[in-house]
Amino acid sequence: MPAKKNVTRERLILCINATLQKKAKQIVVLNLKEISGFTDYMIICSGTSEREVQAISQAIQLFLKKEGIRPLGVEGESNGQWILLDYDDIVISVFYEPAREFYNIENLWDTPRMNIDENKKEIKRLKKEMA
Protein backbone atom coordinates (compact mmCIF):
# COMPACT_ATOMS: atom_id res chain seq x y z
CA MET A 1 0.00 0.00 0.00
CA PRO A 2 2.87 2.50 0.49
CA ALA A 3 3.32 2.76 -3.31
CA LYS A 4 -0.21 4.15 -3.79
CA LYS A 5 0.36 6.57 -0.91
CA ASN A 6 3.51 7.92 -2.59
CA VAL A 7 1.78 8.19 -5.98
CA THR A 8 -1.14 10.06 -4.43
CA ARG A 9 1.22 12.40 -2.57
CA GLU A 10 3.14 13.15 -5.77
CA ARG A 11 -0.11 13.74 -7.68
CA LEU A 12 -1.35 16.03 -4.91
CA ILE A 13 1.82 18.15 -5.14
CA LEU A 14 1.41 18.32 -8.94
CA CYS A 15 -2.24 19.37 -8.56
CA ILE A 16 -1.38 22.08 -6.03
CA ASN A 17 1.40 23.35 -8.29
CA ALA A 18 -1.04 23.40 -11.21
CA THR A 19 -3.30 25.79 -9.26
CA LEU A 20 -0.32 27.98 -8.40
CA GLN A 21 0.77 28.27 -12.05
CA LYS A 22 -2.35 30.23 -13.01
CA LYS A 23 -2.44 32.35 -9.84
CA ALA A 24 -5.52 30.80 -8.25
CA LYS A 25 -6.58 32.51 -5.01
CA GLN A 26 -7.31 31.17 -1.51
CA ILE A 27 -5.97 27.67 -2.14
CA VAL A 28 -7.00 25.16 0.53
CA VAL A 29 -6.29 21.42 0.60
CA LEU A 30 -8.55 19.14 2.64
CA ASN A 31 -7.42 15.66 3.68
CA LEU A 32 -10.58 13.58 3.32
CA LYS A 33 -8.97 10.11 3.36
CA GLU A 34 -10.42 9.08 6.70
CA ILE A 35 -13.97 10.37 6.13
CA SER A 36 -14.71 10.14 2.41
CA GLY A 37 -15.55 7.36 0.04
CA PHE A 38 -15.25 9.51 -3.07
CA THR A 39 -11.75 11.02 -2.84
CA ASP A 40 -8.66 11.29 -0.65
CA TYR A 41 -8.03 15.02 -1.08
CA MET A 42 -9.96 18.07 -2.18
CA ILE A 43 -8.26 21.21 -3.42
CA ILE A 44 -10.42 24.33 -3.34
CA CYS A 45 -9.35 27.55 -5.01
CA SER A 46 -10.90 30.72 -6.43
CA GLY A 47 -10.82 33.15 -9.29
CA THR A 48 -12.06 36.74 -9.33
CA SER A 49 -14.25 36.39 -12.43
CA GLU A 50 -16.04 33.64 -14.34
CA ARG A 51 -13.53 33.99 -17.16
CA GLU A 52 -10.63 33.65 -14.72
CA VAL A 53 -12.21 30.54 -13.17
CA GLN A 54 -12.43 28.99 -16.65
CA ALA A 55 -8.83 29.97 -17.39
CA ILE A 56 -7.62 28.46 -14.09
CA SER A 57 -9.48 25.23 -14.82
CA GLN A 58 -8.09 24.99 -18.34
CA ALA A 59 -4.55 25.72 -17.13
CA ILE A 60 -4.82 23.04 -14.42
CA GLN A 61 -6.01 20.48 -16.97
CA LEU A 62 -3.23 21.38 -19.42
CA PHE A 63 -0.53 21.32 -16.72
CA LEU A 64 -1.65 17.89 -15.49
CA LYS A 65 -2.13 16.52 -19.01
CA LYS A 66 1.55 17.27 -19.69
CA GLU A 67 2.29 15.09 -16.65
CA GLY A 68 0.14 12.28 -18.06
CA ILE A 69 -2.75 12.92 -15.66
CA ARG A 70 -6.23 13.27 -17.14
CA PRO A 71 -9.48 13.96 -15.28
CA LEU A 72 -12.14 11.30 -14.93
CA GLY A 73 -14.69 14.07 -15.32
CA VAL A 74 -15.10 17.82 -15.53
CA GLU A 75 -18.31 19.62 -14.48
CA GLY A 76 -19.38 23.26 -14.69
CA GLU A 77 -16.95 24.54 -17.33
CA SER A 78 -19.57 26.38 -19.36
CA ASN A 79 -20.75 28.77 -16.64
CA GLY A 80 -17.54 29.47 -14.71
CA GLN A 81 -19.16 29.67 -11.27
CA TRP A 82 -17.87 26.35 -9.91
CA ILE A 83 -15.78 23.96 -11.96
CA LEU A 84 -15.12 20.53 -10.54
CA LEU A 85 -12.17 18.50 -11.83
CA ASP A 86 -12.28 14.86 -10.76
CA TYR A 87 -8.88 13.18 -10.70
CA ASP A 88 -10.16 10.18 -8.69
CA ASP A 89 -8.09 10.41 -5.49
CA ILE A 90 -7.94 14.22 -5.84
CA VAL A 91 -10.87 16.51 -6.61
CA ILE A 92 -10.21 20.14 -7.53
CA SER A 93 -12.96 22.73 -7.12
CA VAL A 94 -12.33 26.06 -8.84
CA PHE A 95 -14.83 28.69 -7.68
CA TYR A 96 -15.84 32.18 -8.67
CA GLU A 97 -15.36 33.97 -5.32
CA PRO A 98 -19.07 34.79 -4.62
CA ALA A 99 -20.08 31.17 -5.38
CA ARG A 100 -17.36 29.88 -3.04
CA GLU A 101 -18.66 32.09 -0.23
CA PHE A 102 -22.22 30.91 -0.88
CA TYR A 103 -21.46 27.16 -0.91
CA ASN A 104 -18.71 27.30 1.75
CA ILE A 105 -17.74 23.67 1.06
CA GLU A 106 -14.40 23.82 2.86
CA ASN A 107 -16.31 24.05 6.14
CA LEU A 108 -18.45 20.95 5.53
CA TRP A 109 -15.87 18.64 7.10
CA ASP A 110 -13.78 18.84 10.25
CA THR A 111 -10.63 17.43 8.76
CA PRO A 112 -6.94 18.33 8.40
CA ARG A 113 -6.46 21.25 6.04
CA MET A 114 -3.55 23.07 4.54
CA ASN A 115 -3.65 26.65 3.30
CA ILE A 116 -1.32 27.21 0.37
CA ASP A 117 0.51 30.51 -0.01
CA GLU A 118 -0.84 31.71 -3.36
CA ASN A 119 2.28 33.85 -3.86
CA LYS A 120 4.49 30.78 -4.22
CA LYS A 121 5.39 29.48 -7.63
CA GLU A 122 5.37 25.88 -6.45
CA ILE A 123 5.55 23.65 -3.40
CA LYS A 124 7.90 20.72 -3.01
CA ARG A 125 6.46 18.93 0.03
CA LEU A 126 3.37 18.63 2.15
CA LYS A 127 2.67 19.11 5.82
CA LYS A 128 2.71 15.84 7.78
CA GLU A 129 -1.09 15.74 8.25
CA MET A 130 -1.51 15.95 4.49
CA ALA A 131 0.88 13.13 3.61
Distance from C-alpha of 38 to C-alpha of 77, rounded to nearest angstrom:
21
Residue 123 domain flag: no
DSSP code, position 128: G
Residue 92 scores a pLDDT above 50: yes
Residue 2 scores a pLDDT above 50: no
Instruction: Determine the structural domain holding residue 31 and report its residue range.
Output: 2-116
Q: What is the CA radius of gyration of the chain?
A: 14
Report the domain count for the chain. Answer: 1
Residue 128 domain flag: no
Residue 31 domain flag: yes
Inter-residue contact 14 to 87 (CB < 8 Å): no
CATH number of the structural domain spanning residue 60? 3.30.460.10
Mean pLDDT (the chain, rounded): 88
DSSP symbols for 98-126:
HHHHHH-GGGSS---EEEE-TT-S-----
Residue 130 domain flag: no
Residue 105 domain flag: yes
What percentage of the chain carries pLDDT values higher than 90? Answer: 60
- Mean pLDDT value of segment 12-36: 90
Residue 127 domain flag: no
Residue 78 domain flag: yes
